[in-house]
Amino acid sequence: MNTLETFAHAKINLFLHVTARRPNGYHELDSLAVFAAAADRLRLVPAMAESDGARLSISGPFGAGLEDGPGNLVSRAIDLLRNDAGARGSRVFGIELDKRLPVASGIGGGSADAAAALRLAATAWDMAHVDLTPYAEKLGADVPVCLAQRPARMQGIGEVLTPGPIMPRLSMVLANPGIAVPTPEVFGLWKQSGAAFRDITTLPAEWHDLTSVVDTLRHTTNDLQSVAIARYPMIGTVIEALGAQPGCALARMSGSGATCFGLFATRDAAETAAFHLAREGWWTHAGPLYDPGCDPS
């Protein structure tokens, strides 16, 4: 078994509508997820002894304070797949997680890590032919979309996935003010707000430029944004600051917050915006959308 490496990219909800509530309390969504170039890095390193097996070590700017025991989504993903790996699951390895994405921040970093761990373990255990979707669904609503890391329409609670519109070249800025926002709290606030459920939105098969993307997105919202701002006003400050940057065509919150994104036509404008926003002490990222076709991993 060789050392393997993969990247767990940030998931951005370009819009997010709540369409229904299930009896178990989960909410049905209509959302368009895309992936940013920003990513955590995971390495699978063969281990010599059973005692070294599946040990998780965490580094990186957002690694501090993240638990490295069985509760980490990476460990949970590997333990889940091992149940079905049979004798192959006795091949032991360690996982190194370089945590570069802010935690509990609406960009699905933990979900992306879990999906990446499933991909790595499936390779190490000769399970590349196995459909990882049922494992992903057990780990969290955002994990299935993070398996392929391609633009996708998310419906159901996030598990009903269809290809999203073909995206044009664009640049995205991410900004996070350093507030960890618990997803259950935000869905709870949305429920308490008494807001109405939304109908399913119609999207084109392809957008040719940023203007057409934004023309469509202006008819959508992130339904969780206003309740998240009411509870965490700093999110509103971030959206305003992003929207005020030269060249920003749309600024909005991703997922349940607090990370917000801005869409820009050029990489220069995005990088300049990120540079200015970083002066606020916020985590920022500027780059293109992630294209799985160009991934060396």
Which residues lie near ligand ATP (CB under 6 A)? 66, 72-74, 103-111, 113, 142, 183, 255-256
In angstroms, give the least distance from the CB of 137 to ligand CDM: 9
Name, in order, each residue with C-beta under 8 angstroms of 202's C-beta and a sequence gap of 6 or more: none
Site for ligand CDM in 162-201 (CB under 6 A): 183-184, 187
Residue 104 interacts with, from ligand ATP, ligand CDM, none (CB under 5-8 Å by kind) = ligand ATP
Does the annotation flag 57 for ligand binding?
no
Tell me which of 36, 120, 157, 228 binds ligand CDM, using CB under 6 A: 157
103 binds, among ligand CDM, ligand ATP, none (CB under 5 to 8 A by kind): ligand ATP
Please confirm, yes or no, whether 11 is among the known catalytic residues: yes
The verdict on whether residue 102 carries a ligand-binding annotation is yes
Name which of 187 and 207 has its Cβ closer to ligand ATP.
Answer: 187
- Residue 140 interacting with ligand CDM (CB under 6 A): yes
Cα 43 to Cα 53, 58, 142, 148, 213, distances in angstroms? 14, 11, 21, 18, 35
Q: Is 13 in the site for ligand CDM (CB under 6 A)?
A: yes
Our CB check for ligand CDM shows the closer of 86 and 182 to be: 182
Q: How far is the CB of 169 from ligand CDM (least distance, A)?
A: 24
Within positions 45 to 74, which residues make up the interface with ligand CDM, using CB under 6 A?
Answer: none
Choice between 184 and 293, CB closer to ligand ATP: 184
142 a catalytic residue: yes
Q: Which residue lies nearer to ligand CDM by CB, 93 or 190?
A: 190
Q: Select the residue interacting with ligand CDM from 115, 255, 258, 274 (CB under 6 A).
A: 255
Q: How far is CA 102 from CA 60, 63, 88, 120, 294, in A?
A: 10, 9, 34, 22, 24
Cβ-in-10-Å burial (0-12, 13-18, 19+) of 137 comes to: middle
110 known member of a binding site? yes
> So which residues are the catalytic ones?
11, 142
